[in-house]
Amino acid sequence: MSKRYRTLVPAPAKGENQPPPERPQPPPEKRQRSHMACANCRLKKSKCDGKRPTCTRCTKQEVECHYTEEDKAVTIVGLHAQVQRLTQELGEHNDFLAHLQSVPAHEANNILRQLRTSSDASKVLASVQGNLSERARPSDLRHARGLMPPTGSSIEFELAFLHGMVYPTLVPLDIKSIDIDTLLRSAARTSHRHHGPAALTTTPTDAWEGQNALSSPWQGIPPNTIPATRVPLDNVFAASAISLYLESDHPFFGVFDADLVIDSLVYQRVDFCSPFLVVALLYMACQSFTTVDIKSSSLVPALYHEVQKLHRAEGADNRPITIAATLLFGFGSTMAGRETLALDLFATARRKAVETGLFGVSHAHDADDQWEAWRQLSSDQLREKAQVAWGAFNWLTIHAIFYQIEPIEHPPAFPIPGHGDLHTPNPRPPFWPPNQLPAYMGHTFSALSRFCIITHELYLVYYCAEGDSDASPPSLAFAETKFQSLLSWADTLPKELACGNHSPAHTYLLFCLYHGTVLYILRPFLGSAATLRLQSFAAADSTLDKIFDASMNQLKRLLYIYVSQLQSNLYSPILSCGMIHLNSALMKAAPPPPPTKTPRENESNDSNDADADEWRFYFRLSLSYLQELYKRYPMWIDVIKATLAMAVDGGNLTSAEALQIIADVTRQSGQHHLISAQVFNSCIVDFDLAITDPDRARVHELALKFDQLALFDEFTTVVADGAEAEPGA
């Protein structure tokens, strides 16, 4: 069948008018169907264009138009908004609950009390959530972690992100590239070198990066102002020794007002100074000065006998300056290894401080009477009392923790000396005189005083648990609360206290004490509860062992900076408040197995080699610090022995290595000491053992254990030599 084609119209002839082409017509518009008809159109089953608020049909008929159901699209948008709002509210409520769990108990009770008494609970929540808005959310932490140097754990990063003052981000050390021998020789370059006196009334020069901290001339004290003693002591030499003490230890130990003492010396007054105080200060300062001038050690025995006589003559006095002198005498006796005397002196000073109202007395109900009594004193007397009260309280609180002595019942009621009223727990009376500390003390003493208030509250509970076998151990909730209190304290520190290359040395003492206290808080829970998570942190691995490791890492870095950058003649024994906690954990760390000889197995054991290198590195740093202290203070030989005994017990050193180390230390550092055989110290050094058996965890017990090890080694050597000589006899 042939196809049928459309008939074609013939083309017009040339010259004919052609009609204009027709325009293509647009396709007819499709009727937009309405997803929802109005009630009228739905009732009449009419087409409805769904216009709002009135459809076209109802407009023409002039009838009321209304819709009975919401549009589907509008409903979806509304649901999304509602879900978003509820999610935000849930997050805020979770933050609020976490805040209640993390704040101290009294602050949480205040918030709950406001919620119960307020007619509008939303306002209370809004006020608290206003404070919570400053907290970083997990998404902020994840974003920041991608930009900052790596950390060992998520909780370590969270601590660095939120509390960078005490947990600064640590750039990893390439330990293999550090020549530890060169580093230690460089650190000891200023030992046994006399540089002359430093200024007491001016800011000390920078002690970091090899600069000489004792190069500035003495200013402010005329010659021959040091009271005459029976000890042949040159005035300039005495000034140099006291200057070193004031720069290195006084910003932390601070049991007397240095400016008042200097003024009394200059103007030959006895109001705020006494021969007992000056000789006690020289007894302590000359021990410290041994690394600057080795001849200083020969003066220490004579100063000891002199200060003993003055203590018998003036010790019955209850003046604040006598209490300060007694504490200095006790501190010097501790460093000399005369602990029995030192403990008696500390007990005497503490008793007198309580009797005179410096601390240990509750003033909660008689604040008005206390203020009235203060009004009767001169401005200098108020300054003296406040300085002695807080200096004594700080030292005796720290001392009690390391010796497990009964804590002081109440802290001082005096305002904390220092820079203004920033976060001072006690209100400053309007008549209280300005009490700015010397510039070389910085903010350390003020920060330490506030720190010791928290430590005192902590030790009150821990001491009861340690001293009473029937008492229940401290709860994890209490430990977490105190840890949060310490973090809050750190967040209020002035930026001048941040550790840096130009920070004064005593700043590092403060942060070592902080991290040592964190280890003290967490250590009792590191057994079965080590992997329990602290709920006040966002990190998923905020477990006790991870937080413990974070403070351990900070202590290691502080030790490295302190030994490598600070002149050894400025080393302070107060750093040991953190280093003893570090050594207690470090010396007992399980040693990694030695690498095998198979190349493939050696490759798999690289991490073990790194752990072994790290342990040796920090062991050498710690030993170097302790050895420098032993050059000045006889007591530290027993601390070194105790440390080596823990290392041998932990399997990190052999007995032969430990004995060789102690022989080298004695030969290089301690031959100038005259009373090594009389050294005795009962400080706690093994805090893990102290949880179950505190008596065996003390210095003298572990040092005795080391001496027994030495005797056993000597005995076996003699027996072996005799056995070898017998066949040829």
DSSP secondary structure letters along 206-219: P-BTT--TT-SPP-
Does 718 have pLDDT greater than 50? no
Q: What is the pLDDT of residue 109?
A: 65
- 141 CB-contact burial (10 Å; exposed 0-12 / middle 13-18 / buried 19+): middle
**Crossing angle for the helix pair 544-565 and 606-632, to the nearest 10 degrees:** 50
Q: What are phi and psi of 108, to 5 degrees?
A: -65, -40
Q: How far is CA 714 from CA 483, 639, 647, 677, 717, in A?
A: 47, 22, 20, 19, 5
Residue 135 is assigned to a structural domain of this protein: no
Sign of torsion over alpha carbons 536, 537, 540, 544 = negative
Residues 458 and 603 in one domain: no
Instruction: Give the closest residue to 684 by CA, choosing from 705, 700, 698, 702.
Output: 698
Does 359 have pLDDT greater than 60? yes
Does 189 have pLDDT greater than 60? no
Tell me the mean pLDDT in the region 13-22.
57
Residue 635 is assigned to a structural domain of this protein: yes
- Please tell me the distance from the alpha carbon of residue 579 to that of residue 595, in angstroms, as a whole number: 30
Instruction: Give the closest residue to 568 by CA, choosing from 471, 668, 656.
Output: 668
Q: What are phi and psi of 146, to 5 degrees?
A: -70, -15
Sign of torsion over alpha carbons 70, 71, 76, 82 = negative
Least confident residue range of 17-31, 222-236, 692-706, 707-721: 17-31
Q: What is the pLDDT of residue 24?
A: 57
- Long-range contacts of 125-134, Cβ-Cβ distance < 8 Å, separation of 24 or more: 125/92, 125/96, 128/96, 128/99, 129/92, 129/95, 129/96, 131/99, 132/92, 132/95, 132/96, 132/99
Residues 6+ positions from 580 with CB-CB distance below 8 Å: 402, 516, 639, 683, 684, 685, 687
Residue 600 is assigned to a structural domain of this protein: yes
Q: How far is CA 603 from CA 256, 597, 606, 608, 611, in A?
A: 59, 10, 6, 10, 14
Domain stop point among 452, 472, 492: 472
- Token duo for residue 31: 């009727």
Does 118 have pLDDT greater than 50? yes
Residue range 563-578, pLDDT digits in tens: 988 888 788 898 888 8
Residue 36 is assigned to a structural domain of this protein: no
- Residue 550: alpha-carbon gap to chain centroid: 11
Residues in the chain, how many? Answer: 729
3-state secondary structure of 648: helix
Tell me the mean pLDDT in the region 35-59.
84
Residue 678 is assigned to a structural domain of this protein: yes
| Other CB atoms within 10 A of residue 529 CB | 14
- Please tell me the distance from the alpha carbon of residue 281 to that of residue 261, in angstroms, as a whole number: 11
Residue 316 is assigned to a structural domain of this protein: yes
Buried b vs exposed e over 424-447: b needs ≥16 C-beta within 10 Å? Answer: bebeebeebeebebbebbbbbbbb
Tell me the mean pLDDT in the region 496-515.
86
Instruction: Give the closest residue to 282 by CA, choosing from 337, 229, 221, 219.
Output: 229
- Token duo for residue 68: 């009975």
Which percentage of the chain shows pLDDT scores above 90?
27
Instruction: Assign 134 a pLDDT band (cuts: 50, 70, 90).
Output: very low
Q: What is the pLDDT of residue 206?
A: 36
Q: What is the pLDDT of residue 211?
A: 32
* Domain count along the chain: 2
Q: What is the pLDDT of residue 649?
A: 87
Residues 462 and 593 in one domain: no
Residues 233 and 366 in one domain: yes
What are 208's strand-pairing partners? 566
- Please tell me the distance from the alpha carbon of residue 523 to that of residue 687, in angstroms, as a whole number: 8
Does 36 have pLDDT greater than 50? yes
Residue range 464-492, pLDDT digits in tens: 755 454 556 788 889 999 999 999 999 98
Instruction: Assign 125 a pLDDT band (cuts: 50, 70, 90).
Output: low
Domain stop point among 416, 445, 472: 472
Tell me the mean pLDDT in the region 241-259.
89
What are 621's strand-pairing partners? none
Cβ 288 vs Cβ 241: under 8 Å: yes
- Please tell me the distance from the alpha carbon of residue 509 to that of residue 253, in angstroms, as a whole number: 11
Instruction: Assign 202 a pLDDT band (cuts: 50, 70, 90).
Output: very low
Residue with the larger pLDDT of the pair 269 and 615 = 615
Tell me the mean pLDDT in the region 210-234.
53
Average pLDDT, the chain: 78
Tell me the mean pLDDT in the region 205-231.
47
Q: What is the pLDDT of residue 185?
A: 77
Residue range 639-691, pLDDT digits in tens: 999 999 999 888 888 888 899 999 888 887 766 665 555 788 899 999 888 88
Tell me the mean pLDDT in the region 96-107.
66
Domain stop point among 422, 448, 472: 472
Q: Considering only CA atoms, give the Rg of the chain.
A: 37
Residue 611 is assigned to a structural domain of this protein: yes
Q: Which amino acid is at 51?
A: K
Instruction: Please tell me whether the overall predicted TM-score, pTM, comes out greater than 0.95 for this model.
Output: no
Per mean pLDDT, which of 366-380, 433-447, 602-616 is the most reliable?
Answer: 433-447
- Please tell me the distance from the alpha carbon of residue 68 to that of residue 50, in angstroms, as a whole number: 12
Residues 604 and 457 in one domain: no
**Domain residue limits at 320:** 178-472
Residues 6+ positions from 302 with CB-CB distance below 8 Å: 230, 231
- Please tell me the distance from the alpha carbon of residue 463 to that of residue 443, in angstroms, as a whole number: 29
- Please tell me the distance from the alpha carbon of residue 636 to that of residue 629, in angstroms, as a whole number: 7
Which percentage of the chain shows pLDDT scores above 70?
70
Residue 604 is assigned to a structural domain of this protein: yes
Residues 286 and 425 in one domain: yes
Instruction: Assign 190 a pLDDT band (cuts: 50, 70, 90).
Output: very low
Residue range 587-618, pLDDT digits in tens: 876 555 554 445 555 554 555 667 788 889 99
Q: What is the pLDDT of residue 454?
A: 93
How is residue 48 annotated by DSSP?
A: -
Q: How many CA atoms lie within 13 A of 124 on its CB side?
A: 14
